[in-house]
Structure 1
């Protein structure tokens, strides 16, 4: 069906609008990009549950929209080995959505409809309902306790995780790999409401890929800082994160921690290895000479950590589209190690569990092949009465096991503390 859109000046607050329109839906999403350094659009909506990628189709908007999002698929792509025959997805088939322009304080209404009359009817009904929106998020938080847990249990004890780090270093010493992203998982029973938790987290821990995704199968509360892949037309960008230091409340100490991260040879080498891996992945689908490192080893600071981030981009060859780019880069090199195929094989031996959505991707994919997907990290996944949070870190020849384990604890801290929990390591 054709795509129709309307733009209005001004908006109702996004939290209130989401709660009013979509909180009761079994399948809803909130792609919160208020704190994304190069994306000014937040998107909310709902739809039918889907385990299918969107069908490839041309853009019917006739270039009238200032953003590349189009109704299609919003959801997660589970971690998979590079040679997987197909990618396992779970999410929402979106046919209508609200898009917020943070720079211009404008709001777009998008929908696939049989004709303009049907779209106008929906649009005017939405406007009437928006007029009644106000205080919905505050009311929701007063009547819903945020999801909480008493104690998380790590699938790997501290001693087991340290032993796995030593095994990874043995593989590196033998030349099997250069780097490995070793992970573990925390699990707990929970009570309370994941959306109420998200409403709290997005304020306390703003992140570029802050996401709330609820489906019939699971709910995802993500404060991910990492872009896995962005495709806009022929341009592909990936922004791996490797290198972490904690934040400090003391400004002088915080600056010192930031400077130490920037000069740490182990952390810099770790990031450079993944940049090289992504350059290689992009070279297989991009025009010769078009793959560039736009930003190398930039320090970006978030609520609890400083991190080293690089931006790698390229121009797709004419015969390739965003779906080809997704397959070429998947799974994200920052969550595997290098070389990717060898690293994935060793991870299977060491981790002995399915990663599921963790280390996969979360965000939107349009039928045009454009997409914007964050890495599934710093994410709590709620299924039935259980919640799980997976965490990990990159292992190199220079890794100190105790330091690596402390980094894993640091990465889990924001979500675990927000749920009022402790961790039994």
Structure 2
């Protein structure tokens, strides 16, 4: 059942890939009404890790302006708290390793959610401009529709790109402060998740067309380095032309493999048991879909990492790490700190955030 149109605000803004859109026309539940996304228009998409995916169609679409981060007033740097403190996170890493030893899973992504009070709905576009200046990211963007959605992302990771009948994914696994700090564990984890993504895409692609075009590529981002692989395939004619294209793509690939684990179903069970709060848009999908007048589809959805979301007078930010048998629990905690420090610091008005247990 779709979201009733009368609940949709005519306000709102979304920005991705050099495009800015204003004026919400409608919002749909993508899983319940995927056929609505065959109608011409530009849609902003936000999916929760837990499975809900919504899309907002905007009326006016044009080039994005530079934005102005001076309108942002964030929380105090010392006001952030974590859903799992250091001792709890380290213990949870140990429990994931126990599951690996028992053969339940090969890898699982273990996350925590940082939160800070921030009364009154803030200006998402202002935070986006601030992050764009201080931490540029290839899939940066955001969506704000008052009372409905508030997400700002500085994601470096491609979940799904669809264009010309080809679907592409760019899983990230392996994070360090410098390239020299990458370990065999990082490389093995990347290969493992790349294989999982390859298997996911094979469910919707022409047999023999799914290929790994980049393996263990190094990407530098502010303050850290990632290992990134790229997988792509040609969608089958049946899938590409289907009215429920997005249901089929999401059923095959969601949630993203890089932020769940392998095997995915077992990893999700472990995540549900160990994490103490829902991830929401963090580790879900954030991006855009454009349907041309001829029915052609272009889309770019990022994995919702390095992502802020606001609701109920609280600003939230997720951070996590992939756990394998080779994981050092204290090292994995340090990786979550590394991923969060710069962005939380920017949102708090400084260079580095202070997360309290």
Query: Aligned residue pairs: how many?
Result: 328
Q: Does 1:77 align with 2:55?
A: no
Native 8 Å contact 2:139 2:154 kept in 1: yes
Deviation at 1:389, TM superposition (A): 0.6
For the structure 1 residues 364 and 193, does the alpha-carbon distance in structure 2 shift closer, same or farther, using more than 3 Å as the test? closer
TM-score, normalised by the number of residues in structure 1: 0.72
Native 8 Å contact 1:71 1:96 kept in 2: no
Q: Does 1:158 align with 2:89?
A: no
Aligned pairs for 1:4-43 (under 5 A) are: 26-31=11-16, 33=17, 42-43=18-19
For the structure 1 residues 173 and 137, does the alpha-carbon distance in structure 2 shift closer, same or farther, using more than 3 Å as the test? closer
Partner residue of 1:55 out of 26, 35, 43: 35
Q: Does 1:347 align with 2:271?
A: yes
Native 8 Å contact 1:377 1:391 kept in 2: yes
Native 8 Å contact 1:147 1:193 kept in 2: no
> Matches of 1:148 and 1:91 in 2, distance apart?
29
Q: Does 1:226 align with 2:196?
A: no
Deviation at 1:353, TM superposition (A): 2.6
Per-residue displacement from partner, 1:157-214 (whole Å, max 9, x unpaired)?
1101100000000000111000000001111112664432221210110001111211
Per-residue displacement from partner, 1:55-85 (whole Å, max 9, x unpaired)?
35768xxxxxxxxxx62320301113xxxxx
What is the DSSP-based 3-state SS (H/G/I as helix, E as strand, rest coil) of the residue aligned with 1:320? helix
Native 8 Å contact 2:306 2:343 kept in 1: yes
What is the DSSP-based 3-state SS (H/G/I as helix, E as strand, rest coil) of the residue aligned with 2:278? coil
Equivalent residue, structure 2, for 1:382: 310
Q: Does 1:402 align with 2:330?
A: yes
Per-residue displacement from partner, 1:287-319 (whole Å, max 9, x unpaired)?
111010000000000111100000000111111
What is the DSSP-based 3-state SS (H/G/I as helix, E as strand, rest coil) of the residue aligned with 1:410? helix
Native 8 Å contact 1:381 1:389 kept in 2: yes
Native 8 Å contact 2:75 2:116 kept in 1: no
> Matches of 2:327 and 2:56 in 1, distance apart?
40
After the TM superposition, list the runs of 4 or more consecutive aligned residues in structure 1 that deviate by more than 6 angstroms: none
Deviation at 1:384, TM superposition (A): 3.7
> Matches of 2:211 and 2:323 in 1, distance apart?
26
Aligned pairs for 1:20-419 (under 5 A) are: 26-31=11-16, 33=17, 42-48=18-24, 50-53=27-30, 55=35, 71-80=41-50, 87-99=51-63, 137=67, 141=70, 144-150=71-77, 151-190=79-118, 193-216=123-146, 217-246=148-177, 257-261=178-182, 264-321=183-240, 322-323=245-246, 324-367=248-291, 368=295, 369-418=297-346, 419=348
What is the DSSP-based 3-state SS (H/G/I as helix, E as strand, rest coil) of the residue aligned with 2:90? helix
Q: Between 274-283 and 318-327, report the one with greater CA deviation.
A: 318-327
Question: Which ranges of structure 2 fall in alignment gaps of 5 or more residues?
Answer: 1-8
What is the DSSP-based 3-state SS (H/G/I as helix, E as strand, rest coil) of the residue aligned with 2:109? strand
Question: Which ranges of structure 1 fall in alignment gaps of 5 or more residues?
Answer: 1-23, 34-41, 60-69, 81-86, 101-132, 247-256
TM-score, normalised by the number of residues in structure 2: 0.86
Deviation at 1:363, TM superposition (A): 0.6
Q: Between 321-330 and 181-190, report the one with greater CA deviation.
A: 321-330
> Matches of 1:258 and 1:307 in 2, distance apart?
8
Q: Between 221-230 and 71-80, report the one with greater CA deviation.
A: 71-80
Using CA pairs below 8 Å that are at least 6 residues apart, which structure has the higher relative contact order?
Answer: 2
> Matches of 2:105 and 2:137 in 1, distance apart?
31
What is the DSSP-based 3-state SS (H/G/I as helix, E as strand, rest coil) of the residue aligned with 1:403? helix
Highest CA radius of gyration, 1 or 2? Answer: 1
For the structure 1 residues 290 and 230, does the alpha-carbon distance in structure 2 shift closer, same or farther, using more than 3 Å as the test? same
Deviation at 1:344, TM superposition (A): 0.5
For the structure 1 residues 58 and 79, does the alpha-carbon distance in structure 2 shift closer, same or farther, using more than 3 Å as the test? closer
For the structure 1 residues 209 and 170, does the alpha-carbon distance in structure 2 shift closer, same or farther, using more than 3 Å as the test? same
> Matches of 1:222 and 1:26 in 2, distance apart?
20
What is the DSSP-based 3-state SS (H/G/I as helix, E as strand, rest coil) of the residue aligned with 2:335? helix
CA RMSD of aligned residues (A): 2.2
Native 8 Å contact 1:391 1:411 kept in 2: yes
Native 8 Å contact 1:365 1:372 kept in 2: yes
Deviation at 1:147, TM superposition (A): 2.4
